[in-house]
Amino acid sequence: MLKGYLLVHKKNFVRDVVPWVGALVVLAFAPYFVSASLRSFLLFLLMWIALSQSFNIFTGLTGYVNFGFVAFYGLGGYGMTMTLLSLNIPIYAAMVIGGVISSLFAFAISWPTLRLRGAYFAIAMLSLAQALFVIFDNWNFVNSATGYTIPVKYYDPVLQYYYMLAVAAVTVLCLYVIMNSRLGLALKAIKQNEETAVSIGINATFYKAVAFGISAFFAGLAGGAATWTITIIDPPSAFDTTITLTAISMSMLGGLGTIAGPIIGAVILYSIEHYFGLTLPYLHLIVFGIIIIVVVLLIPQGIMGEIISRMKKSRRQEVGEEG
């Protein structure tokens, strides 16, 4: 257990938790008072929150950029669909199986890939995801290029909304728990200096693999829920690199390694994409590009990262005065 006095933010249950619970309650009752199209907007916003947050669980906490993130999403989607269609089990069970499959894949590839660092890791993961795409496209076991369609009997937009809300909420909660656990502490150390972390007894290989697996699990859950909503899964949509890039952009804009950051990023970027995408299809790419460039040049830590570092700065001055 952590000793409270060491944490940057000491738990204050009321102040810390109330806004989150409030947001959750608002979202939980949203289907009763918003239009169906807004509900559909919120559903996909929640999907992006879940995705950028599960991206954040690994990349934000360890600093390893996972450019093959979409592989987890796609495997979760395929796992969910195939178990649902063949075993005829409840959707939530199929989703969990999808998450587990994705997670097992992450563990399996963690040994070779997590030894690589920086650009090598990024490129290796990007290639792995691309290779998965090509393999699935040719693999009859997964219906090759044709993929699967979820039968109409499973269509239920309100239920889909609640499932996605649950996935997003659990992902955020999990990130919160991780960040305040021994695992989070170890990852924080690994991110800042892996060599030192290892030298004080932290088993970096193990903790990184665990974070990788957890990230994959939630991305897989989100992939399953998304596939159920989209009703169709085929290799180009399941392993679309754009999903990785969007998750990266969202968590970066908001601030990697923070809880609120990826959520803010998802809200901003998905809104932009939704509005501009509907009316001016290419303009949103231009806006996306400019936002990323501006963020990297001006606020490389993202919106939340910037807020936190300013907070720290003011605290530092305070400490300086006291000392």
Partner 1 sequence: MPSVLPGALVAELFILGLMYGLLYGVLAMGLTIVFGVMKVVNVAHGDFVIIGSYLSYWAFVLAGINPILSLLLTIPFGFLLGALTYLGLIRRVQNSPELMSLFLTFGISTLIGGLLLFFYSPTQRAVPVALGSIEYGSLSIPVNISIAAAYAIAVAIALRFFFYRTYWGKAVRAVIDNRTSAILVGINPDMVSLKSFGIGIAIASSVGSIVMLLQSISPLSGPDFTLISFVIVVLGGLGNPPGALVGGVVLGVVESLSSLYVNAAMTPAIGFIIMVIVLILRPQGIMGSRG
Partner 2 sequence: MTGVVADNAQRDTVLDVSLVRKNFAGLVALDGVSLQLGRKEILGLIGPNGAGKSTLFNIIAGTLKPTSGTVTFRGRNITGLPPNRVCRLGIARTYQIPKPFLDMTVLENVYIAESFGSGRDSKVGTPAEICDLVGLKDKMHLEAGMLNVSGKKRLEVARALATSPDVLLLDEIAAGMSPTEGEWAVRFMEKMSQSYDLSIIWVEHVMRLLMKGVHRVVVLDHGVKIAEGRPEEVVNDEKVQQAYLGGKLS
Partner 3 sequence: MNRSTRRAISTMAVVGIVIVLIIVVVAGIYIATLKPKSTPTGPSVITIGMTMPLSGTFASDGQMSLNGIKLWAQDVNASGGIPVKSLGKSLPVKLIYYDDGSSASTVATDYQTLVTQNVSFLIAPYSSPLTLAAAPIAEANHLLLLSHGGASDSIWAKGYKYVVGVLSPASQYMIPVIDMLANMNPKPTNLAFFFGQDPFSLSVMSSVEPYALSKGFKIVFNQTYQETATDFTSQLAQLQASGAQVLIGGAHFTDGETIMKNLQSLGIHLNLVSLLVAPDDPHFLSDLGSLANGVTVPSQWEPNLNFSQFSPYFGNITSGQQFYNRFMTAYGIAPNYEAAEAYATGLVLEKGIIDSGSLNSTVVRQQLATENFYTFYGHFQIDSTGKQIGHTMVVAQWQSGVKQTIWPSSVATATPLYPASLQMQQPSTLSYSGQGTTSLYVGGVASESYMLSQSTHAMLAVTPTSPDRE
State the residues that interact with partner 3 by CB under 8 A: 5, 7-10, 12, 15-16, 18-20, 22-23, 26-27, 34-38, 40-44, 134, 137-138, 144-147, 149-152, 155, 157, 226, 229-232, 234, 236-237, 240, 242, 260, 263-264, 267-268, 271, 277-283, 304, 307, 311, 314-315, 318-319
Residues that bind partner 2 (CB under 8 A): 3, 6, 182, 185-186, 188-189, 192-193, 195-205, 312, 316, 319, 323
Binding of residue 63 to partner 1 (CB under 8 A): yes
CA distances from 25 to 12, 22, 159, 161, 265 (A): 20, 5, 16, 14, 21
With beta carbons less than 8 A apart as the criterion, state whether 91 and 84 touch: yes
Q: Please compute, for residue 315, the number of CA atoms within 13 A of its CA located in the half-sphere on the CB side.
A: 8
Query: Backbone phi, then psi, for 233, in 5-degree steps?
Result: -135, 130
Q: For residues 58 and 304, give the distance between their C-alpha atoms in angstroms, rounded to a whole number.
A: 17
Q: Tell me the C-alpha to C-alpha distance, in Å, between residue 101 and each of 11, 21, 98, 213.
A: 35, 30, 5, 10
Q: Which long-range contacts (CB under 8 A, 24 or more apart) does 309-316 make?
A: 312/8
Letters for 270-309 (x = contact with partner 1 by CB under 8 A, - = none) are: -----------xxxxxxxxxxxxx-xxx--x---------
- Nearer to partner 1 by Cβ, of 100 and 252: the residue is 252
Can you tell me which of 47, 65, 172, 222 binds partner 1, judged by CB under 8 A?
65
Q: Name the token pair of 175.
A: 């990130």
Nearest CA-CA partner of 251 in 194, 311, 292: 292
Separation of CA 322 from chain center? 40
Residue 159 interface partner, choices partner 1, partner 3, partner 2, none, CB cut-off 5-8 Å depending on type: none
Question: Taking CB under 8 A as the rule, does residue 141 contact partner 1?
Answer: no
User: Residue 32 binds which entry of partner 2, partner 1, partner 3, none, with Cβ cut-offs from 5 to 8 Å by kind?
Assistant: none
Is 194 in contact with 146 (CB distance < 8 Å)? no
Work out what residue 195 binds among partner 3, partner 1, partner 2, none; the CB cut-off runs from 5 to 8 Å by kind: partner 2
Q: Which of 209/252 has CB closer to partner 3?
A: 252
Residue 153 half-sphere exposure, CB side, CA atoms within 13 Å? 5
Considering beta carbons, is residue 25 or 87 the nearer one to partner 3? 25
Q: Which is nearer to partner 3, 114 or 247 (CB)?
A: 247
Q: Is 138 in the site for partner 1 (CB under 8 A)?
A: yes
Q: Which stretch binds partner 1 (CB under 8 A): 112-120, 163-171, 195-203, 212-220?
A: 112-120
CB atoms within 10 A of CB 85: 15
149 phi, psi to nearest 5 deg: -120, 135
Q: Which residues pair with 149 in a beta bridge?
A: 232
| Minimum CB distance to partner 2 smaller for 178 or for 186 | 186
Distance, CA of 241 to CA of 245 (rounded, Å): 6
**Quick one: which of 94, 248, 259, 303 contacts partner 1 (CB under 8 A)?**
248
Q: Is 191 in the site for partner 1 (CB under 8 A)?
A: no
Binding site for partner 1 (CB under 8 A): 63, 65, 112-113, 115-116, 118-120, 122-124, 126-128, 130-131, 134-135, 137-138, 241, 245, 248, 252, 281-293, 295-297, 300
